[in-house]
Chains A and B, each alone.
Chain A
């Protein structure tokens, strides 16, 4: 039980669809992250929020749009995706603020774009 939940766990969508991924953390953390992991590839950091403010956007295409309404919730809005966007999308949280702290990951959403 990691304390970080993600929904849905699996998602299949067409290139013209709009969908959203949801992440919720129950750990009282202040920082949240989105990562992408394509098959047999390393983790790619997408976005970071620290105290609800976006502090990192790792040159992510605009078809991915993050939203962080509060420190416990993080969304990733998806629209007009491409087949190469199919991947495992992982959310993580950490204490945030000052300090090089460890991250706790959710189980991920496995996304397939047709």
Chain B
């Protein structure tokens, strides 16, 4: 079993749709969680951190469920520019170097 597993996708949605991605992690000692976005042939960029209380940034909402060991990303009112691969990242250790990236979920928003 992979340490971090994401919805395989791809997700193809119309503009304005709401889409949700889930990510599960296997290590209950995981400390911190992030969502990154990676555009085609570009580097990953931090989208948002995921806090225990959940957090929202505009159209994006991230949630953490420690009991079930999963995090989620909700995108409301999808835009064409949201088309990208979304990477779930889990830090299992307090030391640098223990970030585990998921394989990513590809989202295509269509007109």
What residues of chain A have their CB less than 8 Å away from a CB belonging to chain B?
Answer: 2, 30-31, 33, 42-43, 45, 48, 50, 55-56, 88, 90, 94-108, 110
A100 touching B91 by the CB < 8 A rule? yes
14 additional A-B pairs beyond A45-B101, A50-B95, beta carbons within 8 Å, are: A2-B43, A2-B45, A30-B96, A42-B103, A43-B101, A48-B97, A97-B95, A99-B32, A99-B94, A100-B32, A100-B98, A102-B89, A103-B46, A107-B43
Q: Which residues of A contact B44 (CB under 8 A)?
A: 43, 90, 105
B97 touching A107 by the CB < 8 A rule? no
Q: Tell me whether A105 and B94 are in contact in the complex, defined as CB-CB below 8 angstroms, given that A42-B103, A43-B101, A100-B31 are known contacts.
A: no
How many residue pairs bridge A and B at CB < 8 Å? 64
Once bound together, how far apart are the Cα atoms of A98 and B98, in whole Å? 11
Q: Which residue among A48, A55, A97, A102 has the maximum number of chain B CB atoms within 10 Å of its CB?
A: A102
A42 touching B46 by the CB < 8 A rule? no
Interface 1/0s, chain B 26-61, versus A by CB < 8 A? Answer: 000001101000000111111001000000000000
Once bound together, how far apart are the Cα atoms of A110 and B45, in whole Å? 17
Q: Tell me whether A98 and B97 are in contact in the complex, defined as CB-CB below 8 angstroms, given that A105-B44, A107-B43 are known contacts.
A: no
A108 touching B91 by the CB < 8 A rule? no
Q: Which residues of A contact B41 (CB under 8 A)?
A: 88, 110
A50 touching B97 by the CB < 8 A rule? yes
Once bound together, how far apart are the Cα atoms of A50 and B98, in whole Å? 11
Q: Which of A2, A43, A97, A102 contacts B49 (CB 8 A)?
A: A102
